[in-house]
Chain A
Amino acid sequence: MHIIESGNVAAASGVKLARVQVIAAYPITPQTPLTERLSEFVDSGEMDAEYIPVESEHSALAVCIAAASTGARAFTATSANGLLYMNEQLHWAAGARLPIVMCVVNRGIGAPWTVWNDHQDAISQRDTGWIQLYCADHQQIIDTVLKAFYLAETVSVPVMVCYDGYILSHTYMPFDVPDQAAVDKFLPPFTPAYALTPGQPANLNTVTLPDIRPDVRGNMAPGYMEIRQNLHADMRDAIDVLADVNKKFETVFGRNGDPYIESYQCEDAEFVAICLGSLSYHLRDVVDILRSQNISVGVMGLRLYRPFPDQAIIDALSGRKGVIVFEKALSYGNQGALYGDIKAALYPAAARPVIHNYILGLGGREIKTDQLVEALKNSCTQADAIGDAPQWIGLKL
């Protein structure tokens, strides 16, 4: 059934349909309406879950870690500095291989304070060992929440479902809420390989020595470095697993698309704009304008950021004349993080395109269509004249 609601309600609806058992969260704008809605679901009995209010984001994730360790399906959500406050527990959840799902409602980071949207919060946590998926509209938010649990529980790696604060979280648009029966068909109950129970107490994730050594049963156990390599290998496997999850989702719900890159007008495009989140949809209008001026350009929205789908990037971008990376985040003193990742992926490509980087929309700075048209047009018409350093759109110096 289609409803018109906010992006936060789309996320909450997905969490409810996923039959999440434990929710722990601390309110922070623009995530708050999502967890408020979940607390209402639990309070009214519509959701059979434990809602645990906590005093901080660090505790929110600590509670989810404990819940997931006992085999419960756990969820939390946050934004900006709340995500940063979780940082230590983010690494812990990934290292402990717990399939927690978290919505990150993307917001700029203080100082100075901002409540508005950019991607610096999630991008700054890209190396915590979490899978990161990005959404472009409300249908993708609810669908991605469902897929995220399946993916997380298949590869035993936690997943962040990222969507733009305000632009998606507080904007209303129509989306389909699937039937519970269909969701149950897609997403079976979580059955962990190992779960902590009161009957069998255990110490988990205790100190490991630099080298491997026998465990209490005398079997050679992996050491710290083997455990890290194992996380990395499973993250790489998650790229293929996501494609399988997408296929299964399509079989049940009849909708989907490419698991890694959502393309528009790219088949014959000499130039391709690429970015994360809802901006890729805004750029569709920009592509239409430039196409009407006979500029051969398309746009791609990257749906999976970690693990990085490098082969899909090579397949999509090798042989193009130019690639233009639009980013709402920055690796200070270097360049946009996504730009660096895409350049690295394209290094072994047979035909490397010219590549440009635009930084825009930080702290909710308005992104105007005519600014995007001008920037993209410049990149398409004077590809060789534009340097490697990131250029800023909408900067008022």
Chain B
Amino acid sequence: MNQDIIKIRWHGRGGQGAITAAKIVANAAFVSGFSGVVMAPTFGTERRGAPVLTSLQISRQKIYDLSPITQPDMVVVLDHLIIEEVDVTAGLKSGGLVIINSTEKPEFFDFKNMTVATADVTHIAANAGLPRGIVNTGIIGAFAKASGLIGMDILTRAIEDEFTGKHPEKNSLAARATYEKTLVGGK
């Protein structure tokens, strides 16, 4: 318990690849020296298209409590429409970070005492050559820019390792291009 754990909750839709995104960040975090990494998808009855969430905890030490996180430090939202269906900031710590795939600027979102970061991942990823709607690698670039937790070079490698044989370069390009275009708002 006497340890610093960074807790990140990922919101997406079933089939959108939020789990894969969290897994890529988990791998990159481990390579960056976070020896404690735990990624836990929600358990139960996922359906394609329905809102799903995945929790990722990273720490410099081994993590022993595998319970689902209730008070994240940051949340990542792969589809801005989920905000209308799910309270994505539930339990989010004051001053926490909300990273959203959206065409809007951060100021558009009214989350009290939170930092909002946005990027039009859907558009950027399509420009990188990915089929339209594939956003789970692009959003990693927004996460990297807004959180500053893990370097883009390590994340690029983690993305390409995950997508060996499935457009590794296009996926990592989507992340790097999103990194450049992510807007981070004030508190």
Contacts and interface: CB of A to CB of B under 8 A. Distances in A.
B37 interface: yes
B37 A173 contact: yes
Contacts of B148: none
A280 B126 CA distance: 47
Interface string A275-294: 00010011011001100100
B140 interface: no
B67 A115 contact: no
B23 A288 contact: no
Contacts of B23: 4, 172
Given A115-B44, A369-B67, A285 B1 contact: yes
Given A170-B43, A174-B37, A369 B30 contact: no
Interface string A352-386: 00000000000010111100000000000000000
Contact of B39 (A171, A278, A285): A171
B27 interface: yes
B27 A4 contact: yes
B50 to A, nearest CB: 17
B65 interface: yes
B37 A281 contact: no
B37 A289 contact: no
A173 B2 contact: no
Interface residues of A, number: 25
B40 interface: yes
A4 B37 CA distance: 8
Contacts of B30: 2, 4, 174
Contact of A171 (B1, B27, B44, B66): B66
A174 B26 CA distance: 9
B43 A282 contact: no
Contacts of A134: none
Contacts of A170: 40-41, 43
B18 interface: no
B66 A289 contact: no
Most chain-B CB neighbours within 10 Å: which of A174, A282, A288, A368? A174
A171 B40 CA distance: 5
B8 interface: no
Contacts of A366: 67-68
B127 interface: no
A53 B4 CA distance: 46
Interface string A148-184: 0000000000000000001110111110000000000
A278 B44 CA distance: 19
Interface residues of B, number: 20
B187 to A, nearest CB: 29
A75 to B, nearest CB: 25
Contacts of A168: 66
A177 to B, nearest CB: 14
A292 B65 CA distance: 18
A282 B65 contact: yes
Contacts of B39: 4, 171-173
A168 B67 CA distance: 11
Contacts of A116: 43-44
Contacts of A171: 38-41, 66
A369 B65 contact: yes
A282 B39 CA distance: 16
Interface string B28-62: 00100001011111011000000000000000000
Nearest to B63: A173
Contacts of B35: 174
A296 to B, nearest CB: 17
A367 B65 CA distance: 10
B163 to A, nearest CB: 16
Contacts of A364: 43
A367 B67 CA distance: 8
Nearest to A281: B64
A289 B2 CA distance: 9
Contacts of A369: 65, 67
Given A171-B40, A173-B38, A282 B66 contact: yes
A64 B55 CA distance: 38
A369 B38 CA distance: 17
B67 to A, nearest CB: 7
B71 to A, nearest CB: 12
A278 B2 contact: no
Nearest to A2: B30
A172 B43 contact: no
Contact of B65 (A2, A4, A174, A285): A285
Contacts of A167: 66
B96 to A, nearest CB: 20
Contacts of B1: 285, 288-289
A289 B1 CA distance: 7
7 contacts: A2-B30, A4-B27, A4-B37, A116-B43, A171-B40, A174-B35, A281-B64
Nearest 6 A/B pairs, CB to CB: A172-B39, A281-B64, A288-B1, A166-B43, A285-B1, A171-B40
